[in-house]
Structure 1
Amino acid sequence: MDTRAAVEELLRTIGEGDPERIAELYAEDVEWRINWPEEEHGGTVPWIRHRSTRADVADHFRTLAAAHRSDNPSVEVEHILVDGPHAVVIGVVVNTVRHTGATYRARFALHVTVEDGRVVRHNVYEDSLAVARAYGAAAGA
């Protein structure tokens, strides 16, 4: 499977919402990084932490689903840029945090690297302030 096809399959599967099926698209060992301040990793927003295994990937998507309402999420993918094994997905995610009822709209860029048809790198850059405020974790939230 080429990089574009792997990324399109990943996005489709994420949209279906099954954490175990999503995790199957990742290598057993994965470099998963989230561009948040390091001191916030493992803090009050439960899904924000680095991951390193396929099992961690499934846990991420279970935790993410549990923290958000399921009635209104949306992701708008604006661009998928591919260069060999690397792809960058640019878009906007809208979600509502379950415990606060606050909705956020966050722009994101996702850098994915695909080897042998599996994702080996998942680095996401997003509007962490919008997410933290909606979760109730940011000052002045």
Structure 2
Amino acid sequence: MDKINDTRAVLTAFLTDLGAEDFDAVGGHFAETVDWKVNWPEREHPATPWIRARSTPADAADNFRVIAAHHIRDKAGFELDRILVDGDDAVVLGVTRQTSRATGKSFAAMVAVHMTVTDGKISRYHVYEDSLAVAEAHGVS
């Protein structure tokens, strides 16, 4: 399988497991060391505990578990716009829709995730989203 098809296959499997909320399987798609970044201020906030440094498969699985725990499942969704693949790199574009469990506020945020697949595992996971919409929905000031 060539690199583009391999990268696309890894991301398709990752997104399928994420959609099924199989967080152990999601973690299994990540490399032993992950370059993880989120476009958020360099501080953690208790209202958004998933937004913090991550670097391992267990961290990745925990990230998605915590996100699920802080949002109302029946009011959540992700609209995938497209996956762009160039060798080992890919960008996933879409819109996430969530409702904060703590505040009851809903938000929609455009999202771009830059991922790199190395030896069949996700080694880079950089998220670019409308952090203001997320912050406001969770009462972060």
2:27 is matched with 23
1:51 is matched with 54
Opposite residue 34 of structure 2, the aligned amino acid is: V
Q: Report the number of matched residues.
A: 136
2:127 is matched with 124
Residue 32 of structure 1: CA displacement? 1.0
* Partner SS state of residue 137, structure 1: coil
Query: TM-score, normalization: structure 1?
Result: 0.92
Residue 80 of structure 1: CA displacement? 0.7
* Partner SS state of residue 73, structure 2: coil
1:60 is matched with 63
Residue of 94, 103, 109 corresponding to 2:106: 103
Opposite residue 134 of structure 2, the aligned amino acid is: V
Residue of 8, 15, 29 corresponding to 1:11: 15
Structure 1, residues 7-42: CA drift from partner, whole Å, max 9, x if none? 111111111112111101111111111011213xx2
Q: Does 1:72 align with 2:61?
A: no
CA distance in 2, matches of 1:46, 1:86: 27
Structure 1: which 5+ residue stretches go unaligned? none
Structure 2: which 5+ residue stretches go unaligned? none
CA distance in 2, matches of 1:59, 1:135: 19
Query: Cα RMSD between the aligned structures?
Result: 1.1
